[in-house]
Amino acid sequence: MNYSIKSMQTASEIDGKGYVHYKAWQETYTGLVDAEYLQAMTEEKCKEIAHQWIDNVLIAKDGDKVVGFVGYGKYRDDTLTDCGEVYSIYVLADYHGKKIGYSLMNAAFEKLAPYSKIAIWVLKGNEHAIRFYEKYGFRFDGTEQEIMLGTPRTELRMVFNKISD
């Protein structure tokens, strides 16, 4: 398989990111998220979101097909200092096990190089993602937050420390 990691540049790449968002949510969150909420997360809605959030997103492409993406940036609140954040990372299930997630994470880490640590939030019960993040070097820091995904759900914060204490 020949794939590339790049910034989104065309409307079709942005739509492709929206499709991956939609499909990956269906593949990942069935059984973890309220079914009605998941149904409301349509492909069109995900494409609209993709067109609103173009900056700080890298996509993985297999030829002309977008098969994964990662969103990244500065950590969104002040509870952690000198911290970047991986806002989201999704790869289509058909492409799991092909190191695309690692390539996306590596590319995001390059963009987040100025920060001494990087955080990511993961839905409690999303064991596949938790294993991936742990293999990459993220560790739980004990912080939780409640989010609404139709019904209340718990997210757990994981942190990658570039500099060991």
Q: What is the pLDDT of residues 17-41, one digit of tens each?
A: 999 999 999 999 999 999 999 999 9
pLDDT in tens, 112-139: 999 999 999 999 999 999 999 999 999 9
**The pLDDT of residue 148:** 94
pLDDT in tens, 49-93: 999 999 999 999 999 999 999 999 999 998 999 999 999 999 999
Give, in order, the Cα–Cα distances in Å from 120 to each of 1, 11, 117. 28, 28, 10
Strand 117-123, strand 83-91: pairing: parallel
**Is residue 19 within a helix (H) or strand (E), and if so which, with residue range?**
helix 11-29
Cite the beta strand spans of 15-82 per DSSP E: 57-62, 65-74
Q: 7: which 2 tokens?
A: 């910034």
**The pLDDT of residue 2:** 82
List the domain range (segments joined by +) for residue 123. 3-161
- At position 125, the amino acid (one-letter code) is G
Number of structural domains in the chain:
1
**The pLDDT of residue 1:** 65
Taking the CA atoms of residue 29, residue 32, residue 35 and residue 38 in that order, the dihedral angle to the nearest 10 degrees is -30
Residue 50: give its domain's CATH number: 3.40.630.30
pTM: 0.94
Do 62 and 14 meet the contact criterion of CB atoms below 8 Å apart? no
Question: Above 70 in pLDDT, residue 9?
Answer: yes
How many Å apart are CA 125 and CA 153, to the nearest integer?
10
Do 20 and 43 meet the contact criterion of CB atoms below 8 Å apart? no
Do 163 and 116 meet the contact criterion of CB atoms below 8 Å apart? yes
Q: 137: which 2 tokens?
A: 């070097």
- At position 150, the amino acid (one-letter code) is G
Give, in order, the Cα–Cα distances in Å from 149 to each of 50, 65, 69, 83. 19, 29, 21, 26
